[in-house]
Amino acid sequence: MEKHSIPKATLGRVPIYLRYLRDLPDESGATISATKIARGVLLGEVQVRKDLAFISGSGKPRVGYERSKLIYDLESCLGSDSLTNAVLVGAGKLGRALLDYDGFEEFGVRIVAGFDCNDEVLRVSKGKLVLPIEDIEMFCTDNDIKIGIITVGQGSAQEVCDKLVACGIKAIWNFAPCTLSVPSTVLLRQEKLALSLAHLNSQIKNN
C-alpha cells in the first residue's frame, strides 16, 4: 500500500495505536483483533478497521492482525523505524521550545541541532547543541539532514531559507510570518499560529 494515500487524520492516530500495541503484555498473544484494539484505544471499531486497512491491509477473519507485523507497518508509515534528521535555525524562545520538545521523534523526525547567528548562544538544550550558523552547511552534509525548521524573524527568514536550500535540504517548516520562495524540488510548509488564533477569534465574535 502506498504511504501517500494515508489521510492526515489517520496518520494522527498512528501513535495512539503504536503506544497501545507496544505496551501490551507479552502473554497477550501474537495476534490481536481490531475489536480489541478499538476497545483498548477508546476509538470506534469502524474507525479503527478503516485506519488499519489503510496502513496494514485487512486482518485475517476470526484472527485479526499479527501484532509484530502491525507494529512494523505502523512504524514504517510514520517513518519512526528510520528517523528523518532535521535542523532548526533561530534559537529564540519558540526555537528552543521546539528543540526541547521530545514528541517529534514519535512522529518520525529528530531535530538534531539548532543554529543561531548569535555566537554566544552556543550551548546545550536538553543535550542538543545550538551552533553558529556558519557551521550549518558542513553539519547538514555530515548528518544527512532532510528537514530545515525556520524560527527566525520575518526579516531574515528568506535568507535562512536560501541557506537551507543550498545545504541540500528536502523540506522547510517555516514559523516566520512571511511567504518564502523555494525551488519546486523543495517542500514548504508554512505554520500560521497567529492565523489560527484570529480564526478562533472571528468564530467567537460570530457566535
H or E segment to which residue 148 belongs: strand 145-150
Quick one: 81 or 119, whose CB is closer to a copy of itself? 81
Please report the DSSP string for 14-81 in residue order: HHHHHHHHHHS-GGG-SEE-HHHHHHHHT--HHHHHHHHHHHH-PPBTTTBEEHHHHHHHHHHHHTTT
Q: Which is nearer to a copy of itself, 78 or 89 (CB)?
A: 78
For residues 30 and 178, which CB has a smaller minimum distance to a copy of itself in the complex?
178
Least separation, in Å, of the C-beta of 37 and a copy of itself?
17
Give the type of residue at 49: R
Least Å from the CB of residue 99 to a copy of itself: 9
- Minimum Å gap between C-beta 196 and a copy of itself is 6
User: Residue numbers of the site for a copy of itself (CB under 8 A)?
Assistant: 2-4, 6, 8, 11-12, 77-79, 84, 86, 92-94, 96-98, 100-101, 103-104, 106-109, 146-147, 170-171, 173, 177, 187, 189, 191-207
CA distance 142 to 197: 39
Please report how close the Cβ of residue 117 comes to a copy of itself at its closest, in angstroms.
Answer: 18
Pairing state between β 145-150 and 84-89: parallel
Please identify, using beta-carbon distances, which residue of 58 and 202 lies nearer to a copy of itself: 202
Pick 61 or 184: Cβ nearer a copy of itself:
184
To a copy of itself, the closest distance from the beta carbon of 101 in angstroms equals 7
Beta bridge partners of 65: 32
Taking the C-alpha atoms of residue 207 and residue 200, their distance in angstroms, rounded to an integer, is: 11
Report d(CA 115, CA 161) in Å as an integer. 13
